[in-house]
Amino acid sequence: MKPAFIFTTVLYSVIVSFISNSFVFFRHMPQSLLVIIPIFLFICIFAGVFTVKTRSTKIKICCHGTVLLCSFYVSLIVSAVCQISLAIKAIPKDFMTLVWSLFLCIGVNFIVFWIGIICVYLTSVQLGIKMRVIGLACGMIPVANLVALAFIIKITAKECLFEVEKERINAQRSGERVCAAKYPILLVHGVFFRDTKFFNYWGRIPGELQANGAQIFYGNHPSAASVSESAEYIKTRIDEILEQTGAAKVNIIAHSKGGLDCRYAISKLAIADRVASLTTVNTPHRGCLFADHLLTIISPDIKNGVAKTYNLTLKKFGEADADFLAAVNDLTDESCRRLNSELTLPEGVFCQSVGSVMVRATGGKFPLNFSYHLVKYFSGENDGLVSEDSFSWGEKYTLLRASGKRGISHGDMIDLNRENISGFDVREFYVNLVKDLKQRGL
């Protein structure tokens, strides 16, 4: 795939460079425009569309934009050499030839650049807001704009090739239905989020699992509530899923506080017979001293004010049961350790845990890049919120570390930022996780 992408990009770069700097040629052979104009239009409309094999229109458009930006970049360098050479010959003998040549060169490159940049800005996920802003800010600054454009091209090219490869892998194993586990998958979110059709808490993970045969459901419990109250919602939700599907049990994958909610539901609400497995992801089974510290240093007035604002805001969005302080207090070191000792491993339920750690603060998005050092000060290695020594629980424990200097944050484990992390494919991780459940007969 990569060689084909490179070959196509080089081909179009050569063609755009030729068109940009061929005014003299066109003046002597105007009939050639009958061929050149359709070719140029084809490049502007379809250059990257046929470069990659994908069913995703979004990726096709992103690839199209990337190819055009590469072509512009190469053409810009070639044009600088060609136009300077022409200027040396044309000044002062044939000044108008230089003017018209520059007009053609600037016009062609202007069209190619703006189509390319609009395409990638509208479709790329990996560029992010930061890189888009940098691109706009550097747009009128010589040299800086070329450096920014080089980064943009690198990011979008990697994104296109990565997504096409993932699609190829899924197509290759589609017949195997590697994630078609015996029981449905219930995804349970953490604190301060809700399952909504407008923003999927789990990012691209559910789509990847469904593409490989999984049957996915969501917890639909409150964004902020005590562990015991959230557990009641989880119990009700499980009963709804079993009635809807006719399945005897569910496999639960729970993130952060969701892991505590599910453990409580299984142990205290007598639903172990309805759960085949529980996988907790970055769950603070033994709490986090950082949370205790925050609750200690913040005055009661501020805590109550924040809680009141949060609860009222969520009430306006239809969540009448939001309880900010109840949720936060159940995440303290003391509360979590108490729960961990009370909630024993349920018989007949396969229990496992997963955790991840960041390598440095810049590896996480705000506010995890801020909290990382604070958590590290109190508890050592962490994911930006929860310390590593709090993750382990169950029969099997997996600690994830990405290669390089970035690491894997609390949010990365649910694909919160939809970021392709070097050395860690979060979607493939969950595919293998559910694949393992299937192989266990769950």
Kindly give, in sequence order, each residue whose CB lies less than 8 Å from that of residue 31, ignoring residues fewer than 6 positions away: none
- Same-domain check for residues 19 and 109: yes
Output the average pLDDT for the chain.
89
Residue recorded with tokens 């409309």: 45
- Same-domain check for residues 154 and 244: no
**pLDDT given at position 367:** 66
Full domain range(s) for residue 269: 177-439
Q: What is the pLDDT of residues 4-13, one digit of tens each?
A: 788 888 999 9
Position with higher pLDDT, 441 vs 304 = 441
Whole-angstrom distance, CA of residue 303 vs CA of residue 290: 16
Q: What is the pLDDT of residues 368-389, one digit of tens each?
A: 777 888 888 888 889 988 999 9
- Same-domain check for residues 264 and 198: yes
Q: At 199, is the pLDDT very low, low, confident or very high (cuts 50, 70, 90)? A: confident
Give the pLDDT mean for 248-253. 97
Structural domain count of the chain: 2
CA-based torsion, 132, 137, 139, 144: positive or negative:
negative
Question: Is 1 a residue whose pLDDT tops 60?
Answer: no
Q: At 303, is the pLDDT very low, low, confident or very high (cuts 50, 70, 90)? A: low
Domain end, chosen from 170, 193, 215, is at 170
- Same-domain check for residues 288 and 408: yes
Asked if 64 and 119 touch (Cβ cutoff 8 Å), the reply is yes
Question: Is 327 a residue whose pLDDT tops 70?
Answer: yes
Whole-angstrom distance, CA of residue 415 vs CA of residue 201: 8
Give the pLDDT mean for 355-378. 80
- Same-domain check for residues 127 and 206: no
- Same-domain check for residues 251 and 358: yes
DSSP 354: E
- Same-domain check for residues 57 and 125: yes
- Same-domain check for residues 303 and 227: yes
Domain end, chosen from 170, 204, 228, is at 170
Domain end, chosen from 170, 196, 228, is at 170
The CATH number assigned to the domain holding 320 equals 3.40.50.1820
- Same-domain check for residues 248 and 198: yes
344: how many CB neighbours lie within 10 A of its CB?
10
- Same-domain check for residues 241 and 156: no
Question: Is 82 a residue whose pLDDT tops 80?
Answer: yes
- Same-domain check for residues 119 and 230: no
- Same-domain check for residues 120 and 207: no
Q: What is the pTM of this model?
A: 0.89
Q: Which of 31-35, 176-180, 294-298, 354-358 has the lowest mean pLDDT?
A: 294-298
Whole-angstrom distance, CA of residue 289 vs CA of residue 266: 26
Position with higher pLDDT, 67 vs 193 = 67
